[in-house]
């Protein structure tokens, strides 16, 4: 059945995750580098979050954050950034640059339906960051207000502006 397959995948994921946490040297044996992070984020954002949380204690973590900053905007990349931001104290500059990249990416999307979808996602993402006090809104208030005004036809942008 489908649920058996799904639970098998979940069990395998849980086993791998526990192995990563149990064996400190396990990270070095992973076939992961900053250049392969986008593919991992796209294919398995939950595993990407777990690995990034472990990598936070390493010298290479800054390289992985740089890759996240430069990735194409996607639901999965925002999910990963949201979860690591909620679990780690990241440099405020990283969060601000990521937000600016999200806003810039939204304005560069030419297809209106795709743009509206991403504007909604970015607004929900920003609202969560602000609500959870993971970003100092005063530091990026002007950018957020301009973004909301530019996309005021979208309900989530109006809600973010009022927030």
Task: Output 21 or 71, whichever has higher pLDDT.
Answer: 71
Report long-range pairs for 54-63 (Cβ below 8 Å, ≥24 apart): 54/20, 54/21, 54/27, 55/27, 56/84, 56/88, 58/27, 60/34, 63/34
pTM: predicted TM-score of the whole model, two decimal places: 0.81
Average pLDDT, the chain: 87
| pLDDT per residue as tens digits for the range 53-67 | 988 988 889 999 999
Tell me the pLDDT band of 2, cut-offs 50, 70 and 90. very low
Reported as half-sphere exposure (CB side, CA atoms, 13 A), residue 148 has a value of: 19
| pLDDT per residue as tens digits for the range 100-146 | 999 999 999 999 999 999 999 999 999 999 998 888 888 899 999 99
Tell me the pLDDT band of 25, cut-offs 50, 70 and 90. low
pLDDT above 80: residue 14: no
Q: How far is CA 10 from CA 40, 48, 71, in A?
A: 17, 15, 27
Interior angle at CA 33, CA 25 and CA 81, nearest 5: 100
pLDDT above 70: residue 5: no
Instruction: Give the CA radius of gyration of the chain.
Output: 17
pLDDT score at 6: 59
DSSP state of 136: -
pLDDT above 80: residue 3: no
């Amino acid at each position: 059945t489908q649920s058996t397959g799904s639970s098998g995948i979940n069990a395998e994921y849980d086993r791998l995750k526990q192995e990563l946490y149990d064996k400190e040297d396990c990270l070095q044996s992973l076939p992961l580098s900053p250049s392969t992070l986008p593919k991992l984020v796209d294919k398995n954002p939950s595993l990407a979050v777990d690995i990034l949380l472990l990598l936070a204690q390493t010298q290479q973590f800054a390289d992985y954050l740089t890759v996240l900053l430069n990735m194409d905007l996607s639901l999965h990349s925002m999910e990963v950034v949201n979860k690591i931001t909620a679990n780690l104290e990241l440099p405020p500059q990283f969060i601000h640059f990521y937000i600016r990249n999200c806003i810039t990416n939204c304005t560069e999307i030419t297809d209106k339906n795709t743009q509206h979808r991403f504007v909604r996602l970015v607004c929900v993402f920003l609202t969560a960051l602000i609500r959870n006090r993971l970003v100092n809104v005063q530091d990026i208030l002007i950018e957020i207000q301009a973004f909301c005004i530019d996309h005021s036809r979208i309900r989530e942008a109006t809600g973010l502006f009022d927030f």
